[in-house]
Amino acid sequence: MKKTNIKEMTDAEVEQHLTVLQREKLNLKIQSRTGQLEKTARVKQVRRDIARVITEQAARLAKANG
């Protein structure tokens, strides 16, 4: 996910997207532990997407507080 895509989302969409990403991260972790994970690079990609979303949330909060 690109940073520009996240900036275009509403606050509710960002929250929902973060929840989806965290659930996906958990599923990937389980797949990794059971040996079913095929795309190992996806773990890194999801972690970075989560970080992007959290960073955008923090920026919005800082902007709202002045």
Give the CATH number, domain containing residue 16. Answer: 1.10.287
Of 63, 45, 47, 46, nearest to 7 by C-alpha is 63
Q: How many domains does the chain have?
A: 1
CA distance 32 to 15: 26
Chain centroid to CA 22 = 6
Sign of the CA dihedral with 2 first, then 42, 15, and 61 last: negative
pLDDT digits (tens, 9 = 90+) for 25-65: 999 999 999 999 999 999 999 999 999 999 999 999 999 99
The whole-number pLDDT of residue 57 equals: 95
- State pTM to two decimals: 0.90
Break the chain down into helix, strand, coil percent, rounded to 5. Answer: 80, 0, 20
Domain hosting 51: range is: 3-65
